[in-house]
């Protein structure tokens, strides 16, 4: 079974849209690991999950937290655990590159803003995923 990668293009704000996607997936009963090597981006995403919507609470912890096995959203700055992939956890990639061990995950979600650097990095990830044999799909979320 090939890994499926869904790119959502045209987000006004990449991290804010990632919060919305995370909330939706948790609401559907799914677990996610959110990956980026960028510590500043990961901290910003962590803060946004607490405040992006006044009435929303998305339970999340760092992947090495003692409560990680009971929390639906894990924040990860290192290579995501292959054990999580075996458990059916989906990966939300907030890094500029393809995540390490991507082929172990059933599903990868990618959010892309309209910022030129973000789009250029996403195009490279798209090519890499395709060359690896992943099933890649694009979705326009710009609302245009």
Q: What is the pLDDT of residues 15-49, one digit of tens each?
A: 999 999 999 999 999 999 999 999 999 999 999 99
Residue reference for tokens 């995501």 = 80
Can you identify the CATH homologous superfamily of domain 4-140? Answer: DNA polymerase III subunit chi (3.40.50.10110)
75-90, pLDDT tens digit by residue? 999 999 889 898 999 9
For the chain, percent of residues with pLDDT exceeding 70:
99
- Nearest alpha-carbon partner for 42 in 12, 73, 10: 73
Hey, where are the domains in the chain? Answer: 4-140
For the chain, percent of residues with pLDDT exceeding 90:
87
């Amino acid at each position: 079974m090939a890994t499926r990668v869904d790119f959502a293009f045209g987000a006004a704000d990449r991290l804010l849209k990632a919060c919305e996607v995370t909330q939706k997936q948790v609401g559907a009963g799914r677990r996610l690991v959110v990956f980026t090597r960028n510590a500043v981006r990961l901290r910003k995403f962590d803060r946004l999950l607490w405040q992006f919507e006044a009435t929303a609470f998305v339970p999340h912890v760092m992947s090495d937290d003692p409560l990680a096995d009971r929390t639906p959203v894990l924040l990860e700055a290192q290579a995501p655990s292959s054990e999580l992939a075996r458990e059916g956890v989906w990966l939300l990639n907030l890094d500029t590159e393809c995540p390490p061990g991507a082929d172990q995950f059933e599903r990868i979600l990618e959010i892309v803003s309209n910022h030129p650097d973000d789009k250029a990095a996403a195009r490279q990830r798209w090519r890499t995923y395709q060359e690896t044999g992943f099933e890649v799909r694009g979705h326009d979320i710009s609302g245009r």
